[in-house]
Amino acid sequence: MKILKYGNPILRKKAKAVGKIDDKIRKLVDDMFYTMRNSDPIGIGLAAPQVGVLLRIIVIEVPDNEPLSLVNPVIVKASGKEKALEGCLSIPGIFGNVERAGRIEVKGINPYTNNKVIIQARGLKARAIQHEIDHLNGILFTDYIEKVDDLTIDEGYKLPEKLIERFNKGKE
């Protein structure tokens, strides 16, 4: 499974709700976890559109937390504001400060049990969930960044050409 990179038009499309959760969906979730855990750099979240599948599915694995997979996730409550550095497997080596809710409540379906779940999250886990739900709506963390100078670039990485173009002509 390959992670799509910035500039791929699929990353800008809105994902469709999953109608039926079956073994094919569970295999996709397993493959997403595998891809996220074995990416370079290793990720803490991945959304199905990032692997070319336009379905509303996310996986999250934040240190010191149980792995979380949600089908059709929806944030039902959000409070507080926190600004922190974010990165993305679709834009490796690039980081920027993004303001997000500090605490959230999200509902969705556990693909392994088919049960509806409500998750309370704060801190990094809340940030990761919001970041991945943004992917389901065609939004990337760089959309929250005002100027190219506000991005941090790790050594050995460079800004994607299409991202430079976006900053040069304003928001997409």
Closest CA to 104 of 63, 134, 144: 134
> What is the maximal distance between C-alpha atoms in the chain?
47
What is residue 166's predicted lDDT score, i.e. its pLDDT? Answer: 84
How far is residue 86's CA from residue 108's CA, in Å, rounded to a whole number?
Answer: 23
Mean pLDDT, residues 144-161 taken together: 91
What is residue 41's predicted lDDT score, i.e. its pLDDT? Answer: 86
pTM of the model: 0.94
Of the candidates 132, 146, 161, 165, the residue annotated as catalytic is 132
What is residue 170's predicted lDDT score, i.e. its pLDDT? Answer: 64
Domains defined for the chain, CATH in brackets = 9-160 (3.90.45.10)
Task: Indicate whether 172 pLDDT > 70.
Answer: no
Q: Is 165 annotated in the active site? A: no
Residues 6+ apart with CB under 8 A from 31: 1, 51
Mean pLDDT of the chain: 95
